[in-house]
Amino acid sequence: MHCRTTEDKISKALAYYARHAYRLENDDPFNQLLSRYRRAIDVSTETMHKLGIANHCRDCAGNGPGSCCSRGVEDWYDAMLLFVNLLLGCDLREVRPQSADCHFVGPDGCTLLARHYFCLHFLCPAVQERLSPATTNQWLAVVGEELQLGWEVEQYLYRLVDYRRSASR
């Protein structure tokens, strides 16, 4: 099934969750990996606030010139990354108001925990000007750790889903 819309991808992620979450609850290696990933997400979030990146992004989104989190960014998310968000406790069923923002932007910013590479890695020119090269490297190292662990989580889940699919044939 090829997912064409964000709603299709959310539906597929919810189906993955319904089919696999119960088994993952007792999967110790997966839960250890997911826990490491969650800690990396927390470190990224703390670092983003500490470095002032979060404040700049919030100011830019609210007071112009605009937001990197614009309509269409949600298209980059696939059902598996949305499944990871469900496993991390995000509620994807919440109806979003129509706006110029990404489907997953809420009143306090991104409502997702597991985020796309671009959403973590991109620093606009205005943010880059505010950060020293050493600070930028610090940020990218923190983001790199989060992205690596997120990739590992997704690969684990792809193997699980593919195994289940092939076993049911």
How much is the pTM? Answer: 0.89
- Select the more confidently predicted residue: 66 or 88: 88
pLDDT value for 4: 83
Q: Is the pLDDT of residue 61 over 70?
A: no
Confidence at 41, pLDDT banded by 50, 70, 90: very high
pLDDT value for 138: 92
Query: Counting every residue, how long is the chain?
Result: 169
CA dist list (Å): 145 to 124, 127, 157, 165: 21, 21, 19, 30
% of residues, the chain, pLDDT over 70: 88
pLDDT value for 62: 66
